Amino acid sequence: MTPILPGATLGMLGSGQLGRMFAIAARRLGYRVEVFSPDRDTPAGQVADVEWVHPYDDFKAVDQFARGVDVVTLEFENIDVACVERIEQQAPVRPGALTLRTAQHRSREKTALQKMGLSTAPFRLIRSAQELKVGLAEFGEGILKTAAFGYDGKGQQRLHGNEDAGQVWSDFATDEAVLEGFVDFRCEFSVIGVRGANGDFRAYAPILNTHHNHILDVSVSPAAEIPTAVGERAIEMTRTVMTQLDTIGVLCVEFFLTQDQEPIINEIAPRPHNSGHLTIDAHVSCQFEQQVRAICGLPLGSVAQRQPAAMANLLGDVWPEGGLPNWVAALAQPRVKLHLYGKQEARVGRKMGHLTALGDSAAAAVALATSAREMLQAGGGTT
């Protein structure tokens, strides 16, 4: 393909923090950025050249947006495929409808992965209380998840074999869900891959992740807990996913590492990922620069890591009531980098930003990131 060179206009569907960091990387490379979402004064809109405020099914606005950009990419997967297919009539969308359609439905995603010969947790598509009862009898225990439009632990519930399937299904209030069998795992990790239009593929080394209340809490790289052979296998699995889905751009594969040291795919995200935010400060080319390079047909950047790093999410929980976090105390640590997303209202569980800490070792980076976050909670002033 003919490269889309700096000076062109890049379109982004979605306007949250991932769009914001993409826009910053794109503007650093000399591109203009237009973002499209139903919301106003968004994290991405604050730094973009143009912020389109329309529903994704407003096809008149979608058409006008598509005519003014050279290529479009996605910030998240919960976008109606019809919108993407509409844009594809006028401008390339990377990744395209196939990747999006696969990733946004858990049953479709896991079925596709198994057809690729890749391991996933056992699962059943559930459409009734009776099917849930059968699934629980088969798995003993598992996690019931909405089939589509779930993220950060929303729309899921852990179940045991003795649950009242009828009551659970009634409370879940959905027509379709996926029951995943429980996986006894050592840890969770992610591999972030990037693939260009010419098929060139790169991947960052595995990133170890820990969660709190189903939301990513801390990520660290390098991940000593992941054996080298396992990491290499996980990277090849990521390559397979991106090749089979013809994904152009960035895609994250989230893995469980079983007690038998086997990588099992939990889910995929066809975009940059929260766990990869540490690449902004720790790697030669971050995941957002790679997203720009890939969708524009430019050579991919280096995925080499400069030094160990850890990322700690900053949720609204960090904000003291009626005040602000103690930014001064955290930033007094010279190896700590602060990234805020421009969200005006801090709410419990809402991702407001993140801290990245650089260290001489992975353990030192984790200790610094978590201690700096604790310093924030001392309070730094009033709003």
pLDDT range class, residue 43, cuts 50, 70, 90 = very high
pLDDT at position 166: 84
CATH 3.30.470.20 residue ranges for the chain: 185-382
Residue pLDDT, tens place only, 324-345: 999 999 999 999 999 999 998 9
Q: Which CATH architecture has domain 185-382?
A: 2-Layer Sandwich (3.30)
For the segment 372-379, the average pLDDT, to the nearest whole number, is 87
Minimum mean pLDDT among 2-11, 50-59, 130-139, 263-272: which range?
130-139
CATH 3.30.1490.20 residue ranges for the chain: 122-181
For the segment 220-239, the average pLDDT, to the nearest whole number, is 98
pLDDT at position 32: 98
pLDDT range class, residue 149, cuts 50, 70, 90 = low
Give the CATH fold of the 9-93 domain: Rossmann fold (3.40.50)
**pLDDT above 90 (res 15):** yes
Q: What's the angle, vertex CA 194, arms to CA 340 and CA 31, rounded to 5? A: 60
pLDDT at position 153: 54
CATH class of 122-181: alpha beta
CATH 3.40.50.20 residue ranges for the chain: 9-93
Q: Between residues 36 and 162, which one has the greater pLDDT?
A: 36
**pLDDT above 60 (res 152):** no
Q: Does pTM surpass 0.85?
A: yes
